[in-house]
Amino acid sequence: MTAETYSLDVIVSPPFMENTYILRRPDRTDCVIVDPGFQPQRIIQHIEAAGLTPTHILLTHGHVDHIAGNQALKERWPQIPLLIGRGDAHMLTDAVANLSGLSGLAITSPPADRLLEEGETVDAAGFTFEVREIPGHSPGHIVYVLHSESPVIVLGGDVLFQGSIGRCDFPGGNQSLLVAGIRNKLFTLGDEAVVYPGHGPHTTVGAERKSNPFCGEKAGLYGLS
């Protein structure tokens, strides 16, 4: 998707159809990579074909489908830092914690170059991202908020989806925390805010506040107070 102030490309990686995002300013040749999935060569080819230079790898959380491409990207561009929330940092180097070890195909990542916490900012490729911690899908899940854009942009990982939320049955999951985090830290951004999730199509805060069965105003059976 392209807007006046940013260009956002998505590469969808099987088998979990995970969204890897490549974000840049239209008038610049640097970019950030968000949540590299299982097809890093596609990411590398896309970036090189566009004549771009990545400056950062931003991770929303440490599950394998969002970190599987880290090793290849760091080998291609060893100078670019890898960033993740402090609470999920151990998952990068622990195949059991990142869930890949449970499938019999252990995948690990280089360790993080910077650990992020609530309220910090990241300056990268002409953007300033605010970090907000929203645990529940994973213990240290974070989202990246771009207040500079109109409407506000959220790179949301597996927190809020179109009509759903991240699953909470993995180790360290907690639905009460997740729903509270969505309501307190995403729904406060305004109805026009656009959420780009880790799987599936983008959505808006207003649409999910109105109709999401897990965290919206009429959450009913699934909503938690």
Alpha-carbon distance 165 to 209, whole Å? Answer: 12
User: How does pLDDT run across 141-198, given as a tens digit for each residue?
Assistant: 999 999 999 999 999 999 999 999 999 999 999 999 999 999 999 999 999 999 999 9
Q: What is the pLDDT of residue 33?
A: 98
The architecture (CATH level 2) of 7-211 comes to 4-Layer Sandwich (3.60)
* Local confidence band at 1 (pLDDT 50, 70, 90 cut-offs): very low
User: pTM value?
Assistant: 0.95
User: How does pLDDT run across 90-136, given as a tens digit for each residue?
Assistant: 999 999 999 999 877 899 999 999 999 999 999 999 999 999 999 99
* Local confidence band at 211 (pLDDT 50, 70, 90 cut-offs): very high
Instruction: Name the residue ranges covered by the structural domains of the chain.
Output: 7-211
* Local confidence band at 3 (pLDDT 50, 70, 90 cut-offs): low
The b/e string for 175-186 (b: 16+ C-beta within 10 A; e otherwise) is bebbbbbbbebb
Long-range pairs, 164-172, Cβ under 8 A, ≥24: 164/212, 164/213, 164/214, 165/137, 165/212, 165/214, 165/215, 166/136, 166/137, 166/141, 166/198, 167/137, 168/136, 168/137, 170/63, 170/99, 170/137, 170/138, 171/97, 172/135, 172/138, 172/139
Q: Cβ(126)–Cβ(28) under 8 Å? A: yes
